[in-house]
Amino acid sequence: MTGLYAIAPALPLGKAGKFVVAAYIVFVALILVYVAIMAARAQRLESELAQLRRDVEAARAVETARADEAREETPAGGRGPRPPVVASQRDDVAAARSGEPGWRAGGTATGERGPA
Amino acid sequence: MPSRSTTYGTGLRGLSIATLVVIAAALTMVFYYAPLDADQGFIQKIFYIHVPLAIVSLLGFVFGGLMAVGYLLTGDRRWDMRSYVAIHLSLIFGIGALVTGSIWAKASWGHWWVWSEPTLVSFLIVVLLFCTYQPLRFSIEDPERQSRYASVFAIVAGAFVPLNFIAVRLAQQYVHPRVLTLTGGNLPGSMMLTFLVSLIGIAMLFATLWKYEMASKNARSQVRRLRRTLLGDDALAPAGRSAAPS
Amino acid sequence: MRTALVLLRKDLRLELRTLETVPAMVLLALVTFIVFHFGLDRDTIAGQEAAGVLVATLLFAAMLGVNRLFVAEREQGGFDAFLLAPVDRSAMLLAKAAGLFIFLAALEVVAVPAFGLFLLGPSLAPPLPGLIAVLALADLAIAVIGTLVSAIAIHTRARDLIGPVIGLPLLLPALIATARAAGPLLRFTHAAGAPPGKWLAVLALYDLVFALLAYAVFDFLLED
């Protein structure tokens, strides 16, 4: 504190100055609290994104495994140009949607507005 | 549902830098340019933070009410989100205004709270009213109904702001000399200029934080929608009961 | 208008048969007077102090009425029936506000004379006309805002809490005006029985603005 007096001797940090400083500290503190709240939100968003990535990768792994099983059953074997459509049964929406281009093209989801 | 997607982050960087510049300029002017007040001396510097915070907070409440009108007219949940963010930011600014006002009262009148300052009293009433906004939202489970009722509240409360100021101002006898008026009519030019720069700075800060929070909320809802698109409706964790619009 | 009258008659008949709300409001008002007598440790009060006691008491009692306003509709499916009927939604606002106004008037018919008897130092008779004018305008504000707030609160989980919590700040300016208008009336040396016109104007303005606001937004509270 004495250091501050030394570099800013013109500041009248007497009785009046303390109140003024307090008021401006309140302002800065409010902003910092706000930043802290937003930081917590950003952290949550980050973890949600990570979770989403894990889930999507897991879904894709399941799909790839199924595709491999399906290939082993067919006598021809060999890698076809596109994965077989076994996975895209109606009751397996998740697998159906995670086709190769689908999961990267987030743009399809951005424009869409369902009832949230 | 409209398919237009809004990105609130656009221009946020430029706005943030501009806000920083204006607030830095305002602070410099407050402490190095504006003259000392003849009556109050250095204490009067609180004026440059307290009054802009209060004005921006009140305008923010009214802005939230206007956004709520948008929701009731269109039924688009994004309007509700705008209203929600505006009100909750205004509440933070309002608490700042109350605390700085209280400090000012203590410094110049010797009491932490003075009833004879009508602006302070009406401000307290407005802040108390808007403190009920979050509990109201939280106690309505259905999201659509939550948005609708919160919008009705925001409109009524937004209209309440000016009315309340009229009523409280009339109710007070002016014991203390009025050192400030909201119009700043009796300020000398250099003080007025400093005040205006501070006001613009705080208003820009409000706009920046508003855009920032909107961008954050928007990103979060995008992630939720992306999850639904990629993994199906079942993969969506049920949204916990929340006061915030999603 | 006809719908509103039918609804109002229904509410009044319900109240006359069950006697649920108004007697409770009156009782609360009387108990509050007793609390004030002991709390202030005074046998008689006058002037601004008396006005404060009267306004606070009436406000507490009014809150009971506000909380009960839509309970029957909510519990017995009256909302659904009303929404199914091909009638103007605003009729509900009009009927409920009028009903609340009548309840408040009934409360005051008992509570104000009781106030004069128990607590008030000066005689109640000279300021009575002015007091009636002030209270009528205040009741109008409480009726309109109370109906609006009650309609918001009835569909929330913590409805007994949300109603007063939103309603009290919204009512504050009207209550300030009422107390300030009634204060001079209840002094010992009342020169004239007329309240300051300024406060009547503030109350009237408040009533008008909130009536219009409530009319504009009320439909959204019923829509489902």
One-character DSSP codes across B13-25: HHHHHHHHHHHHH
- Report the residue of C48, C55, C83, C172 to disrupt the B interface, i.e. the one with the largest count of B CBs within 10 Å: C172
Q: The domain containing residue B204 runs over which residues?
A: 22-173+187-232
Q: What is the DSSP letter of B37?
A: B
Is B129 part of any domain? yes
Number of domain units in chain B: 1
Looking at per-residue confidence, does A32 or A100 come out higher? A32
Instruction: Say yes or no for a CB contact (<8 Å) between B170 and C198.
Output: yes
- Closest CB to C221: pick one of B139, B141, B152: B152
Give domain status of residue B15, yes or no: no
pLDDT tens-digit map of A33-79 = 999 989 999 999 999 899 889 988 988 898 888 888 888 776 554 45
What is the span of the domain harbouring residue A70? 12-74+83-102
A38·B212 Cβ contact <8 A: yes
The total number of structural domains that make up chain A: 1
Residue A31 within any structural domain of the chain: yes
Whether residue A114 lies inside any domain: the answer is no
Instruction: Please name the chains neighbouring A, where neighbouring means 3+ C-beta pairs under 8 angstroms.
Output: B
Per-residue pLDDT, C48? 87
Nearest Cβ partner of B223 from A12, A48, A93?
A48
Q: What is the pLDDT along chain B (246 residues), one digit of tens a residue?
A: 444 567 888 888 999 999 999 999 999 998 888 888 777 778 888 888 999 999 999 999 999 999 999 999 998 888 999 999 999 999 999 999 999 988 988 888 888 888 877 778 888 999 999 999 999 998 888 888 899 999 999 999 999 998 888 777 776 654 344 545 544 456 778 888 889 999 999 999 999 999 999 999 988 888 888 888 888 777 666 666 677 776
A93 pLDDT above the threshold of 60: no
- C177 touching B (Cβ < 8 Å): yes
ipTM of the complex: 0.86
Chains C and B touch (3+ CB pairs under 8 A): yes
Instruction: Give the C-alpha distances (Å, rounded to integers) separating B42 from B31, B38, B76, C142.
Output: 9, 9, 49, 45
* Residue B182 counted as domain residue: no
Computed over every residue of chain C, the mean pLDDT equals 87
Indicate whether B113 belongs to any domain.
yes
Query: What pLDDT score was predicted for residue B92?
Result: 93
| Structural domain includes residue B243 | no
Establish if A49 belongs to a structural domain.
yes
CB pairs under 8 A between A and B: 118
What's residue A109's pLDDT? 40
Nearest by CB to B229, which of A16, A26, A108?
Answer: A108
Alpha-helical runs (H) found in chain C = 2-18, 22-40, 47-68, 71-75, 78-84, 90-118, 128-153, 159-185, 197-222
Indicate whether A5 belongs to any domain.
no
pLDDT (0 to 100) of residue C210: 93
Q: With pLDDT > 90 as the criterion, what percentage of chain A qualifies? A: 15
Q: In chain B, which residue's Cα lies nearest the Cα of A46?
A: B220
Tell me whether residue B1 is in a domain.
Answer: no
Find how far residue C114's CA is from the centre of its chain.
17
